[in-house]
Chain A
Amino acid sequence: MKTHSISKSTLRQVEKGLTKANRVRNLFAVLAVILTTFLIATVFSLGFSYITNMQISQIRQAGTTANASLNMPSRKQEEQIKALDYVISTGHQIEIGTADQVNEAGNPLNIALMYCDSDEWENHFREAVSDIKGSYPSATNEIMLNMEALSQMGISSPSIGMEIPLSYTDKNGEHTDTFLLSGWFRDYSGAGKAVFSEAWCRSSGYRTETDGILSIRLSNPAFDLSSLEADIDLAEGQSFNGIGTPGSSSGNSIVIIAAMLVLFIMASGYLLIYNVLYISITKDTRFYGLLRAVGASRRQVRSLVKRQAFKFACVGIPVGIVLAALVSVVLVPFVLRAGYTGIDSKTGTVVSFQPLIFLFSILFSALTVWISCSLPAKTAAKISPTEALRYQNFAPKKQKSRRSRNGGSLFVMAFHNIFRDKKRALLVFLSLFMGTVSILGVNGVLGSLTADKYIENYTNYSFEFLDDQFFVFPGPEGEFIPQYSEDFVSRVSATEGVSGVHVSYGIFANLEFDGEQFSEMLDAVYSEWYVPADQSRDEMMAEIQDLIDRNRYGTYIFTVEDSQVEAWNQSHGDSIDLEAFRRGDTAIVSGQWYDEELTGKELTFTADAQDGKPASFRVDGYWSYGEYRNSHYPESRYDLISIVAPEAVLVSEQGMKRLTDQALICDIGVDIDDPSQLDAVDARLQELSGTLTGAYVDLVSAAGQRDTWNTFFSGLSVLGNGASILLILVGLINFVNVMLTGVIARKNEFAIMESVGMTKRQIRRTLTMEGGLYALITTGLILTLGNGFLLLVSRAVPGIADYAKFEYPVSLVVLLILSIFVICLSVPPLVYHCAARETIIERLHSFEN
């Protein structure tokens, strides 16, 4: 039978009437849409800003946007590379040589001389530097410097056209010329740079085919050089090299976190909007039944509800977007800048504004509204005219009976009320639980990634001067060059605010190979670590012999202070004989591989000293890499020498003297009295450090570490904390919304109860118990499932960063549970107080009508 449906214009009128009659509902629905849109757009905006900052930071660290390079490229190769569809741009660079003069303080300059062609400068270089003043040199006598070079030369106020006298060495030999400064720029490599013009290169005989490097920018940042190698024929001695870090995993995790947040916000937004519409439909059930009775088809009723939702979206989404735009333009940059406290941080910050994220936000919000109204629309369309007349809000629909005799007691009633509408209960538990657990998770991760933990992990002292030659194993090509003098140590010691100085000496020493003594270690190495499985033990031994023959079999010897050994003994039960150690008879091996096997053995070293006299030490203990952090351990070493010889050997100063008197100062640890003076002392030591010219000088300061940490993690922290606040907000709104709609929908039921003698106080008590039970069950969920989740988080934390230490957020858990109780206990009676202002008769009548 064909249903007779009512006309479109009639339906529009009905829709207008419905919209007018439900002003409060409209307000709530529009607010829900605004909130959802705002939250989604804010998360997108924060996430996007963070990722942009990360990318800029990576490009600036790499010093170029290029991902790969090829030395001495031929014209044919260049053409082939340019033609590849995954190559965005190419450019040429020539490394000319180094500056060869001393500054006024008498320290040699550390400035690299180079040339970039216009493609390289425009496509790869400009994005990686900032504050460009002037222009790229064009005349033969023009030069452009970076700020580090200016600083080394002692030029504090540069000007275009100023004369720059420079002694340098290039492939043609040593020269001294005076150049004119054509410009300067800030880069983030930390090294001095001077760039020359094309005219200069041509006149000096430099050619890209013979001296140049071709830089290549690929379309996929997670580049794979093998595809380049497969596509281009290389000449002998040529190879593609990767530049910078391929695709950041930190950026990826931000994308995942942001995606999860957006999903959670969409789910919450869905629940909010759905709830408002659902309540409105249960309220207007009779109306929808009547519509059906007078001939509206199901489709018409469905579209009636959806049209109302569409109107909410039309108002709510633009408002939400405008709010989010305000926040993105004003607040996000402010927060990000505030987060990046280190003004001199190595890579700087840039705040970006992307209209695309608002387009995405609109799409996601519209999708949320669409999904939210679908089910209520279906429900409204399903209402039959006869059912509508008998409809009672919240009446158990399917259940016909229940065997119970105590359902009227207040507590049991409160309990039943919770699970009366299971969807509603699930919504409250889900929103409270998810909100709380997300906050705990985010805070757990952020709490494990604090600047303090970073500093504690990476620095043994407030400041540490390191000699970076000791990071390369086994030392730099050629001789070790002293980076610090005893005089410098005294100057550090005399610096205002410095309370103590700890000097450590180091040297590379050859180790006398003793196959018998080392057999246990070598067995362990061969069976557990030696990866090339088809290689025999003899082949491994041959490799070791090769190291011995080349004088490369050995290790670093460092001095440690007695106090460090005493501290070790205190926590390890006097395992080291302090006296023997002090005398220099014994040594301690330290590392992360198989060095423990050497305990008790006798090791004989020959330092590369003038006398070359060997000295033997009995190994009295093993300090693992995890337990004792030496600033000179490279992050992670898997080379053969670090496996088959101890990574480091620690001796006393006396021990070092037995070996050599040529040891270098490799580490100056600086303590300060007053932590509040950190920045002041930092400035003084930076100044002092500025007088040093050694290429391997490295000042690690807690302040600098904090800045480095801030550069990389403050964005994450802003995002995480922002997300936490949003989650709390969404969780609370969901709870209040459910309580509000729950109490309002049961208004008539409370009126009935009052009419037969239940006092308002008893109703409030029941509602308080209901809230208390919500809180109790949520607490139970947090303490069981929530803690399970935190356990997973705690296991994942060490994977985020090596210094990350998870700490159970006890105070936060207690605070959140307390807050949940306060809110759950107070909101329901408060809502009832507001809802039950009319007289019983008025409330009973409003239900009857």
Chain B
Amino acid sequence: MHIILQAKGLKKYYGSGEALVRALDGVDLEIEKDGFTAVIGTSGSGKSTLLNMLGGLDVPDEGSVTIDGTELSGLGDEAATVFRRRHIGFIFQNYNLIPVLNVWENIVFPITLDNHRPNEDFIMRLVSLLGLEGKLDRLPGSLSGGQQQRVAIARALSTKPSIILADEPTGNLDSRTSQAVIALLKKTSREFRQTIVMITHDPEIAAIADRVVRIEDGRIAGDTLTHSYEQHNIRNNSQRRIQP
């Protein structure tokens, strides 16, 4: 079992005295490679704060986050941003696409920032898997919510990151579109053997994940493997057996 992400004793407090809010209050978490983990919890439980800490978008008051052997707190602002670009894929609830770039440019944006040429075959595979073939020249404003989120998924996968962090990716979508998007997310992550940590408050969507971590009042209140996990393991093991 390969641990790709490890969080130790994460704490984040806001305010002081009676108004003190313990957004995260000593969270320890390990994420296995290739796994699909759902983090669930009620509103204000601290799940978004946890995700932001894991992705280096926010800094914990205490504790550490290590991704693929690199401790994020040891990196400066610039280095953390570069690390995020290369090793973490983000998917946001409100897509966060760059309005002036078209679909293709949005997808390859993190690669362009590294002054690298995108691997067109790989990007086109992503594009066809996510059903975005006819939409590459379109600007985000002209796409539906589901289409925009598929672009965001493609962008998150484009750099082949170590881990994908998704913050309520279906929060702005209707249930049918949500199911379709999650199915695609899962399909692509399987296809490209990606590790996913996804925040959701929807139990149905969480059930698709291999593992469900429940957060309450800034602490981990439950951690269970789902039926999907077993299926995922069986398939992984059988694949290993077939390989010479």
Contact = CB atoms under 8 A, between A and B. Distances in A.
A404 B58 contact: no
Chain B, interface SS category: helix
B179 interface: no
A401 B139 contact: yes
A753 B155 CA distance: 12
B57 to A, nearest CB: 5
B98 interface: yes
B113 interface: yes
B78 A760 contact: yes
Interface in B140-172: 140-142, 155, 159
Contact of A400 (B81, B96, B106, B142): B142
Q: Which of B81, B82, B86 has the most CB of A within 10 A?
A: B81
Interface string A747-790: 00100111111111110000000000000000000000000000
Given A408-B113, A749-B98, A761-B78, A841 B57 contact: yes
A297 to B, nearest CB: 28
B135 to A, nearest CB: 9
A762 B100 contact: no
Interface in A402-452: 402-409, 413, 416-417, 420
Contacts of B139: 396, 399-402
Given A757-B81, A759-B78, A392 B137 contact: no
Contacts of B92: 755, 844
Contacts of A400: 138-139, 141-142
Nearest to A397: B141
B91 to A, nearest CB: 10
B57 A752 contact: no
B69 to A, nearest CB: 19
Given A760-B77, A761-B78, A392 B58 contact: no
A395 interface: yes
Contact of A407 (B101, B110, B138): B101
Nearest to A840: B57
B100 A416 contact: yes
A72 B149 CA distance: 100
A756 B109 contact: yes
Contacts, number: 104
B137 A402 contact: yes
Interface in A58-77: none
Contacts of A416: 100
Contact of A755 (B59, B90, B112, B140): B90
A579 interface: no
A406 B105 CA distance: 7
A841 B52 contact: yes
A841 B165 CA distance: 15
A417 B100 contact: yes
Given A401-B142, A757-B86, A420 B113 contact: no
A625 interface: no
Contacts of B203: none
Interface residues of B, number: 37
Nearest to B152: A756
B84 interface: yes
A839 interface: yes
A557 B90 CA distance: 97
B57 A408 contact: no
B181 interface: no
Contact of B112 (A396, A397, A409): A409
Nearest to A417: B100
Interface in B194-210: none
B22 interface: no
Contacts of B104: 405
A403 B112 CA distance: 17
A86 interface: no
A395 to B, nearest CB: 4
A394 interface: yes
B190 interface: no
B178 interface: no
B57 A755 contact: yes
Nearest to B145: A390
Residue among A397, A417, A753, A848 having the largest count of chain B Cβ atoms under 10 Å: A753
B222 interface: no
12 contacts: A399-B139, A400-B138, A400-B139, A401-B137, A405-B105, A407-B100, A413-B100, A756-B96, A757-B81, A757-B85, A759-B81, A841-B52
Interface of A: 392, 394-397, 399-409, 413, 416-417, 420, 749, 752-762, 839-841, 844, 848
Pairs A-B, 10 closest by C-beta atoms: A757-B85, A408-B112, A407-B105, A400-B142, A395-B99, A401-B137, A752-B96, A759-B81, A408-B109, A401-B138
